[in-house]
């Protein structure tokens, strides 16, 4: 019984480590902006094809509200997104 419990706990721990190792969508967005500079939402979407639009929009909203990125409209109907100064490069 103890061996079965220990193995089960090890599997849970291993799964948690795997989840923690995968970068979050927020980290991907920050990384894209640091690597490519200011982008539109459309451009970021093309650079991150594995992320769906809902996930991307929510990540942009979270990052903007936390002050990690800035959004502004140059007046032609799209928003430009840039990483704010002081953000470290993604590892």
Domains, the chain, in order of start with CATH, read: 24-91 (1.10.10.10)
Strand partners, 71: 81
Of residues 61 and 3, more confidence is placed in 61
Higher-scoring residue by pLDDT: 21, 85: 85
pLDDT at 31 over 80: yes
Question: For the residues 44-67, what does the mean pLDDT come to?
Answer: 96
Q: Percent of the chain having pLDDT more than 90?
A: 59
Strand residues in the chain grouped as ranges (E):
39-40, 69-72, 80-83
pLDDT at 65: 97
């Amino acid at each position: 019984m103890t061996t079965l419990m220990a193995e089960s706990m090890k599997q849970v721990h291993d799964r948690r480590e795997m989840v923690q190792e995968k970068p979050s969508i927020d980290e991907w967005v920050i990384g894209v902006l640091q690597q490519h500079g200011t982008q539109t939402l459309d451009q970021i979407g093309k650079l991150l094809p594995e992320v769906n639009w809902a996930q991307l929009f929510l990540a942009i909203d979270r990052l903007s509200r936390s002050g990690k990125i800035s959004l502004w409209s140059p007046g032609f109907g799209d928003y430009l997104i840039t990483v704010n100064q002081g953000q470290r490069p993604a590892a």
